[in-house]
Structure 1
Amino acid sequence: MAAGTTSAASQVSSPVGIVAGGGAMPFAVAESLAARGITPVLFPLRGACDPARVEQFRHRWISVGQLGRAMRLFRQEGCRDLIFIGTLVRPSLSEIRFDVKTLRLLGNVIRAFRGGDDHLLSGVGRILEQDGFRMVGIKDVAPDLLMPEGCISRTWPSGTSKSDIERGRAVLTALGPFDIGQAAVVIDGHVVAVEDIEGTDALLARVARLREEGRIRAATGRGVLVKAPKSGQDLRFDLPTIGPRTIEGVAAAGLAGIAVIAGNTIAAEPQAMIALADAKYLFVIGLPA
């Protein structure tokens, strides 16, 4: 499978191993797989994944830096196909306790750490694929969790918002090679903020604070959050995600809505997200890739 692409038509073998970070998405993927008759096996990362929710699924705990143990557990559970999903605060190399297998691959691991999250995940993915595993993406295992094309809210973007969306897409395309972030906020044609290591929630909180401080003078109800994968990104890893929490952040930031790339953005808790967007008169639109 070529880097930067993935195929929803690939034949996923059961069971599928889910290397699970924090948040709700690992469990949403597990439920989507189970609904389609594919057995999910969670490999929750210690310190990241919610222990209470893990218990409802077949699972084996793993730790960052323990590649040898993780590979043994993947094989014991019969998981050839693997997906990385969920949030993870990246530890520094000095904080990780490596097992023997990882130490043997240390050069590859260090190279994987020298870049953004997508670079790290794709680097670890290549290590696993060299050992006989296959990395798959959301498109392969849970396409129902991806944002569809078109407006899914009752509110639609205005002409000004459409112009802001195009500016946001252009900015993210330009920033993609620098691996900075996957989101930007544009208000009346002005790029007021771009995502950094803190993530989208912090980006929106920053915009809300700038409004409170009078640094943003535009009226509330104007401006757009635009999210898109980085150019050249391996679409099996680290896709942009939106959900109810994103809607809350957009509303607090005084924006008009959200625009994301259809088919390449995860929509977490979509029904709750749409209901909240409608209640706050915000638009949520999936753009053609």
Structure 2
Amino acid sequence: MLALIAGMGALPKALSASQTGKPLVCSLEGFSPDGLEPDVVFRLEQLGTFLIDLKARGVSEVCFAGAIRRPQIDPAAIDADTMPLVPIISEAIGSGDDGALRAVMSLFEDQGFNVRSAEELAPDLLPGTGVLGCHQISEAAQADAARAERLINALSEEDIGQACIVSDGQVLAMEAVFGTDWMLESMKNRPDGKGGIFYKSPKLGQDRRADLPLIGPDTALACAEAGMDGIVIEAGGVMVLDQESLIARCDAAGLFLWVRERTT
């Protein structure tokens, strides 16, 4: 049996719908998925009890999908089954995104659960390579994409983010703790007007079983409002929700959408 450890956003619903059998949908308290009612809501302070419950329900596989913010831990609420896990939980909360997810996944694996990736469950969410839609990419934007790839690669070891904005070879913004939406919002009042690319890809060495980058129709709207010329994502490394609507929004907003092969 598959359990979907679901965070915020539309990805958990898309993954649930893609399965022939309904997975057990589990949500960390305060981080419910969009349009999907959780079967189980748990707290991090009772993670040990939650793992025991999953086994009792016959769960053998788990998939992490959706966004969560680092929750505040109430020491008084930690139960006996979770107490032995506290050192790992504390390390995870203090780590970068990929490090935190690796630590959490190790807890599930140590209990015998097989961790599956979202791309494995729904491979159709990975689009084919090339320029999608009606707007072509300029040579300048291609150079910006190469610059963006090098930037993400260089910062991967620091476990910072999966997206950046580059214009005319200049790095304007880098995704960090506040996420992609905040980064794009910060571009609305930029002093140089508009232009540039929004680039998204996995970090080098990232564990692809969790936190694989994701874009959707709302990304096109946010990029248009931020004055971008287009969107570039790494082929095979970024999932796309509702590809048809995304392409339509990009076309309407004058944005190119390039699914680009990694070069380095």
Q: TM-score interval w.r.t. the shorter chain?
A: over 0.9
Amino acid at match of 1:32: S
Alignment of structure 1 residues 132-211 onto 2, 5 Å? 132-210=112-190
* TM-score normalized by the length of structure 1: 0.85
Aligned ranges 1:264-275 → 2 under 5 Å: 264-275=237-248
Partner SS for 1:258: strand
Q: With structure 2 as the length reference, what TM-score do the two structures score?
A: 0.93
* CA displacement 1:112-140 (0-9 Å, x = unmatched): 22212221121011011011111111122
Q: Mind listing any 5+ residue stretches in structure 1 that lack a counterpart?
A: 1-14
**CA root-mean-square deviation:** 1.8
Contact 1:66/1:98 (CA < 8 Å) preserved in 2?
Answer: yes
Q: Give the aligned partner of residue 99 of structure 1.
A: 79
Taking a change above 3 Å as real, the CA distance of residues 163 and 251 of structure 1, as seen in their structure-2 partners, is same
Distance in 2 between the 1:188 and 1:89 partners? Answer: 33
Q: Structure 1 residues 93 and 248 mapped into 2: Cα distance closer, same or farther (>3 Å)?
A: same
1:19 shift after superposition:
0.5
Contact 1:60 1:73 in 2 (8 A): no
Contact 2:44–2:73 (CA<8 Å) still a contact in 1? Answer: no
Structure 2: distance between partners of 1:52 and 1:243:
15
Q: Secondary structure at the match of 1:129?
A: helix
Could you tell me how far 1:65 is from its partner in structure 2? 2.8
Distance 2:102 2:236 in 1: 19
Pair 1:216 & 2:202 matched: no
Tell me the residue number matched to 1:64. Answer: 44
Residue 27 (str. 1) matches residue 13 (str. 2)? yes
Deviation at 1:92, TM superposition (A): 3.2
Quick check: 2:119–2:239 contact (8 Å CA) kept in 1? no
CA drift of 1:234 comes to: 0.5
1:96: Cα distance to partner?
Answer: 8.3
| Equivalent residue for 2:213, pick from 224, 229, 240 | 240
Cα distance in 2 between the residues matched to 1:245 and 1:123? 30
Distance between the aligned counterparts of 1:167 and 1:230, measured in 2? 15
Is the aligned partner of 1:53 residue 2:36? yes
2:250 and 2:24 map into 1 onto residues whose CA distance is 33
Q: Does structure 1 retain, via aligned residues, the 8 Å contact 2:12–2:33?
A: no
SS, match of residue 231 in structure 2: strand
Please give the per-residue CA displacement for 1:162-221, whole angstroms capped at 9, x wherever unaligned.
0110001111111111111111100111111111111111111111121xxxx225xx4x
> 1:193/1:50 Cα in 2 relative to 1: closer, same or farther (>3 Å)?
closer
Taking the TM superposition and a 5 Å limit, the aligned residue runs for 1:53-132 are 53-54=36-37, 59-94=39-74, 97-132=77-112
Structure 2 residue runs without a partner (length 5+): none
For 2:153 and 2:76, the matched residues in 1 are separated by: 34
Structure 2: how far apart are the matches of 1:97 and 1:284?
47
Measured in 2, the distance between the counterparts of 1:16 and 1:96 equals 31
Q: Aligned in 2, Cα 1:94/1:79: closer, same or farther, shift over 3 Å?
A: same
- What letter corresponds to residue 253 of structure 1 in structure 2? A
Kept in 1, the 8 Å contact 2:5–2:26? The answer is yes
- What displacement does 1:97 show? 3.2
Identical amino acids, percent of aligned pairs: 32
| Distance in structure 1 (CA, Å) of the matches to 2:126 and 2:23 | 18
Q: Which runs of 4+ in 1 moved over 6 A?
A: none
SS of the residue 2:211 aligns to: coil
Count of paired positions: 262
